[in-house]
């Protein structure tokens, strides 16, 4: 057996083991196992670099897949990246701009060549970084949303949806990002509360002295007004319905009409109608045949219809128009007004509503089945509370705008004839054949220039990555997949659409379980971003703390569905734990001289109470961790493994085993302790492996266990014969006695190195027997000068007291402390703790603080309050010993 180095150095082992794992194809799915388990990785953007959200997401997936691999499943964790249409095109355009070029200078084909070059040069960065994290992905099956197979899948689905009348083209109101220069789907628009203004404008009624005062948040769009609406039951304006107003600044006559949409209580109860620039106005305009006048360019500037404002940015034009309205006496007043403003999810540019010719997917027919499979439990969202959000979105779903006015992406497989007749086909040859049949002659065709929304190809990910539209063994074996792990923030972008497309094409759900984790935030609850400077570099953290420490910390601190409030301080726990595991393993290895697990005869061993206890705890923990991993409560599974290894094994068993390992120790007891240390450590490493793969592999190899790698060993299972409730109960009694002595020392200020006298009084025969059989352990671990126990033993005159089960424990303080000095010292501490307790109690009694503080801050303050109260109670109890 090999020894471990004195200190744990993650750098020395992590890259080494990952290279071996990958080279030996340990991550690969096979065809020789029947129990299949598959996860498709949410494909990170090809432009991406590892961030803390990726760390959390992929650590969760890897923990699950490693656990399933160890429980006998044929596992497939499918890797891949997304072409990220808008983001990637922006990267390449910025690169060209540095050279003084635009994409138009190159032309479409040359630009796409440059984009593919950029992808080949930079696109593998994040997959390289995922290896540093220990992600056990089946790299030989890695996919890209624009590789040949995935592209074929996109064409096939588009054609099928089109032929089934579920894809259509039309001129509708869409969300438009002027910076990205493309339409966006509704769920690609983030709405934020903004402080704004409400301008009240005077619109003169034609052939009258009356004016209608219109309240608007967007005065710059008034040049495109084509009507003014009032509520049909609003008596203030009933006499004006059917008349006209003269549009200020423009002089155009526009009608006054009635519509139920108008809110009589908002503003003045009069709404200007700009059908080209507001989705509600667009719908109302269709009902009342209003003209659509677009006054903005695709770049968000005022167009030629705006006269002297032509070429101005829309927001600059707003204030220029307001100044003119004020100068001409048209502006009646201005009020502060907060409203929700839509912004592009990619670049945060304020989104415009724009009438545009786009491609859409009819969502209602697809949504019906997607709702049903969640309602009937075939697809399980975890945590379950997300079901309500899922239902709400699908029940109120709008058609999906899938066309994007960019060049990088899946070009829509459609061609136009001379009269704009549409031919949807796999390629130009097939489109030409359709056109010839349609026109009765060969005609020139023009290909659609738009590409598909990136999320369109992502919606096919669970089956396109497995080879569809080809029918192959992978598709038959691994579809539907088992689990999807993703952020709750893309429940609509991606999850719901995968469910719809899976049911539509494969006639089956794409996955059984959806684990929706929260967002990684900073300590203040803010979302991490480069602009805030609160997003740490995971690679630097891995370099400093090691991947295992980071992985374990993230899982340990992530409750199902809850956001993670991350700080680097959290990683200290993970690092301390890895060091503890390393050091205890080093101790075990150093004390296995002359021991060979292959030659041990168990019949020659003699198991003591502590041995039976640790085996019982190990077997219960193995079952508990497995159950919690199966239920996706990974944080609880991590805590269970931690409490066993850090607490039961390191702090208790190993400490009690030390006295059995010396040269003068009883040979049978020593062999038994060595056997238990080896077997519990070996199983404990397997228990820990899904969370911390690198350190467990390194130590497991040094133990000399049978097998090539720990990751292909069985996950520990509960052996009922090893569960011993009586041994646990007895040992817990010993733990209570030892902990009580240690706590008394700490509270009265006696050094742990100073031996003390302990007296245990009990009438319980079983407890007396436990004490007698384990007296040596008690004396050593509690550092006792002497231990007296019995039914009639005398209580020391000056002592501290605890109750342990049916026993009374006394620690003599005679000669250890000066009573007057201790009383004074304790009173000083009491006064300080009272002040601290009053301070936090007053804070929690402040209604203003309680109503505004975030939940995690309130929890922290309550925890601090309880800690101060517990400390005060103990101090007052200690004071009694000296009175």
Other CB atoms within 10 Å distance of the CB of residue 85: 27
Whether the Cβ atoms of residue 67 and residue 554 lie closer than 8 Å to each other: no
Give the pair of three-digit tokens for residue 867.
Answer: 């800690």
Name the residue with tokens 């099956």.
Answer: 141
The C-alpha atoms of residue 43 and residue 154 are separated, in whole angstroms, by 16
| DSSP tally for the chain: helices H, then strands E | 30, 29
User: Which parts of 714-869 are beta strand (E)?
Assistant: 756-761, 784-790, 799-804, 807-812
The C-alpha atoms of residue 836 and residue 337 are separated, in whole angstroms, by 43
Other CB atoms within 10 Å distance of the CB of residue 198: 18
Name the residue with tokens 């656990």.
Answer: 67
| 475-479: Cβ within 8 A, 24+ apart | 477/29, 477/31, 477/36, 477/74, 478/29, 478/36, 478/38, 478/76, 479/38, 479/506, 479/508, 479/510
**CB-facing half-sphere around the CA of 817: CA atoms within 13 A:** 26
Phi, psi of 720, deg, nearest 5? -60, -35
The C-alpha atoms of residue 556 and residue 541 are separated, in whole angstroms, by 17
**Residue 11 known to bind ligand:** no
Whether the Cβ atoms of residue 500 and residue 364 lie closer than 8 Å to each other: no
Residue 75 bridge partners (DSSP): 37
- Name the H helices within 483-597: 496-501, 538-545, 547-556, 570-590
**CB-facing half-sphere around the CA of 871: CA atoms within 13 A:** 17
Residue 452 bridge partners (DSSP): 403
Give the pair of three-digit tokens for residue 243.
Answer: 């008349």
Rg of the chain over all Cα atoms, to the nearest angstrom: 36
Please report, in range form, the residues annotated as the binding site for ATP. 530
Please report, in range form, the residues annotated as the binding site. 530
């Amino acid at each position: 057996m090999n020894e471990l180095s004195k200190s744990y150095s993650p750098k020395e082992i992590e890259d080494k083991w990952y290279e071996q794992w990958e080279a030996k194809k340990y991550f690969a799915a096979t065809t020789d196992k029947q129990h299949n388990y598959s996860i498709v990785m949410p494909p990170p953007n090809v432009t991406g670099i590892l961030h803390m959200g990726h760390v959390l997401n992929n650590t969760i997936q890897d923990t699950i897949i490693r656990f399933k691999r160890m429980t006998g499943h044929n596992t497939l964790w499918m890797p891949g990246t997304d072409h990220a249409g808008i983001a990637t095109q922006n990267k390449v355009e910025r690169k060209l701009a540095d050279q003084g070029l635009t994409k138009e200078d190159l032309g479409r084909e040359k630009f796409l060549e440059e984009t593919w070059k950029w992808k080949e040069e930079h696109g593998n960065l994040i997959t390289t970084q995922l290896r540093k994290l220990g992600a056990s992905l089946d790299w030989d099956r890695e996919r890209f949303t624009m590789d040949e197979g995935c592209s074929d899948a996109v064409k096939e689905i588009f054609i099928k949806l089109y032929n089934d009348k579920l894809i259509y083209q039309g001129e509708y109101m869409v969300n438009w990002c002027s910076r990205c220069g493309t339409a966006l789907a509704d769920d690609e628009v983030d709405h934020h509360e903004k402080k704004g203004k409400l301008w009240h404008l005077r619109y003169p009624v034609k052939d009258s002295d009356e004016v209608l005062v219109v309240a608007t948040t967007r005065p710059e769009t008034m040049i495109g007004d084509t009507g003014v609406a009032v509520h049909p039951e609003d008596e203030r304006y009933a006499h004006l319905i059917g008349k006209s107003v003269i549009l200020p600044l423009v002089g155009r006559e526009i009608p006054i009409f009635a519509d139920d949409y108008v809110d009589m209580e908002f503003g003045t109860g009069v709404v200007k109608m700009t059908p080209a620039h507001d989705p509600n106005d667009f719908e109302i305009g269709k009902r009342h045949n209003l003209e659509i006048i677009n006054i903005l360019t695709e770049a968000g500037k005022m167009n030629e219809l705006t006269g002297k404002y032509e070429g101005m940015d829309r927001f600059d034009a707003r204030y220029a128009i307001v100044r003119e309205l004020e100068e001409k006496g048209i502006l009646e007043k201005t009020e502060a007004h907060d409203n929700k403003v839509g912004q592009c999810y990619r670049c945060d540019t304020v989104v415009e509503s724009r009438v545009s010719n786009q491609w859409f997917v009819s969502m209602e027919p697809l949504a019906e089945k997607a709702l049903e499979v969640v309602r009937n439990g075939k697809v399980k969202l975890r945590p379950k509370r997300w079901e309500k959000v899922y239902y709400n979105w699908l029940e109120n779903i709008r058609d999906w705008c899938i066309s994007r006015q960019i060049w990088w992406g899946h070009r829509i497989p459609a061609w136009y004839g001379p009269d704009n007749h549409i031919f949807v086909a796999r390629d130009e040859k097939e489109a030409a054949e359709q056109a010839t049949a349609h026109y009765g002659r060969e005609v020139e065709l023009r290909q659609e220039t738009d590409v598909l929304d990136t999320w369109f190809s992502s919606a096919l990910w669970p089956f396109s990555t497995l080879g569809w539209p080809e029918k192959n063994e992978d598709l038959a074996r691994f579809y539907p997949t088992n689990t999807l792990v993703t952020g709750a923030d893309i429940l609509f972008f991606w999850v719901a659409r995968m469910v719809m497309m899976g049911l539509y094409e494969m006639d089956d759900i794409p996955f059984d379980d959806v684990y929706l984790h929260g967002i990684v935030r900073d300590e203040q609850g803010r979302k991490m971003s480069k602009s805030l400077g609160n997003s740490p570099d995971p690679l630097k953290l891995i370099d400093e703390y090691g991947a295992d420490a980071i992985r374990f910390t993230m899982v340990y601190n992530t409750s199902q569905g809850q956001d993670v409030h991350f700080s680097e301080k959290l990683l200290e726990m993970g690092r301390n734990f890895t060091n503890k595991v390393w050091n205890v393993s080093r101790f075990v290895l150093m004390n296995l001289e002359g021991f060979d697990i292959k030659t041990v005869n168990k019949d020659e061993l003699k198991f003591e109470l502590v041995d039976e206890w640790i085996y019982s705890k190990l077997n219960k923990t193995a079952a508990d961790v497995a159950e919690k991993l199966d239920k996706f409560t990974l944080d609880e599974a991590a805590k269970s493994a931690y409490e066993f290894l850090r607490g039961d094994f390191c702090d208790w068993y190993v400490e009690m085993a030390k006295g059995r390992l010396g040269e003068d120790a009883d040979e049978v007891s020593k062999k038994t302790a060595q056997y238990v240390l080896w077997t519990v450590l070996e199983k404990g490493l397997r228990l820990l492996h899904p969370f911390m793969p690198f350190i467990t592999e390194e130590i497991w190899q040094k133990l000399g266990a049978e097998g090539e790698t720990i990751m292909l060993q069985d996950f520990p299972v509960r052996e009922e014969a090893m569960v011993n409730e009586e041994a646990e109960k007895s040992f817990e009694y010993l733990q209570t006695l030892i902990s009580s002595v240690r706590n008394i020392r700490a509270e009265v200020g006696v050094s742990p190195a100073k031996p003390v006298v302990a007296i245990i009084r009990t009438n319980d025969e079983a407890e007396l027997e436990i004490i007698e059989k384990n007296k040596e352990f008690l004396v050593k671990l509690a550092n006792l000068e002497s231990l007296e126990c019995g039914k009639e033993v005398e209580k020391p005159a000056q002592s501290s007291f605890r109750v342990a089960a049916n026993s009374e424990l006394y620690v003599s303080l005679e000669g250890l402390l000066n009573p007057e000095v201790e009383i004074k010292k304790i009173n000083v501490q009491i006064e300080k703790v009272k002040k601290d307790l009053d301070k936090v109690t007053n804070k929690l009694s402040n209604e203003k603080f309680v109503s505004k503080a975030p939940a995690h801050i309130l929890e922290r303050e309550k925890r601090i309050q309880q800690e101060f109260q517990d400390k005060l109670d103990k101090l007052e109890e200690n004071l009694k010993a000296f009175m």
